[in-house]
Amino acid sequence: MLQEIPVIAIDGPTASGKGTVAGLVAGKLAWHYLDSGAIYRVLALSALRRGVDLAEEASLAAMANTLDVSFSADRIWLAGEDVSLDARREETGNAASKIAALPQVRAALLARQRAFCTPPGLVSDGRDMGSVVFPQAFLKIFLTASAESRAERRYKQLIAKDLPANIADLLRDLQERDARDSSRAVAPLKPCEDAVVLDTTALSIDAAVQCVLSLVAQRGVGRIA
């Protein structure tokens, strides 16, 4: 059954625009949307709040198994509390990147992510959607952009949300995060062999969405809502 539900996997580095593009594509197709990074972020947030060491693999995996995370509209919930803002903070993203390098944590979160694959279809974004979580995806996109333009986009997003931001710190942090996400032993960030690489450095969000939708149409799947 899982094999029959169409999945689009959009992977890429932090602040590449993959979340925005994936959400808009899901809206156009009237499919479900999974922001897998948000699950890692909520787990990291929960660990930070409880003072759990970010290298405590077994404790973090146990927390992942019972993590009470849910999504509604644009909000992220942890045990009934709206944690959208805290989950989006840079420090939470950096902590998420650290716990995401732990194999037991990734294994514990696998079934939870796959549970989002329900009819009529799913658009998922993350680092290993096409390689590990949904290898059956009929379309795999690797969405990327230069580090400088990603830092600038992240800066604008944070400022718009009234969160603290400094462009030099953001650039350094995202380069560190790219290095950690790409060099880890399990599910490292890299384009799948069968992925279409889309560089959005000089591409608007709309153009990137159109590009993904035309690839969907070429493959004869989905109907634009």
Within 166-205, the residues that bind ligand DC by CB under 6 A are 177, 181
Please identify, using beta-carbon distances, which residue of 86 and 181 lies nearer to ligand DC: 181
Beta-carbon-side half-sphere exposure of residue 192 (alpha carbons within 13 Å): 23
Tell me the residue ranges of DSSP E strands in 87-128.
122-126
Rounded to a whole number of angstroms, the minimum distance from the CB of residue 79 to ligand DC is 20
Q: Does 98 bind ligand DC (CB under 6 A)?
A: no
Using the rule CB under 6 A, is 100 a contact of ligand DC? Answer: yes
**Which range of residues in 35-43, 74-82, 193-201, 204-212 is near ligand DC by CB under 6 A?**
35-43
Asked if residue 17 binds ligand DC (CB under 6 A), the reply is no
- What is the phi/psi pair of residue 164, to 5°? -65, 140
Over its C-alpha atoms, the chain yields an Rg (Å, rounded) of 17
- Based on the shown chain and the rule CB under 6 A, indicate whether residue 14 belongs to the binding site for ligand DC: yes
Residue 131: name the closest of 182, 84, 175 by CA: 182
Q: How far apart (Å, rounded) are the C-alpha atoms in residues 25 and 33?
A: 9
By the criterion CB under 6 A, which residues form the site for ligand DC?
Answer: 14, 36-37, 40-41, 93, 96-97, 100, 126-128, 177, 181
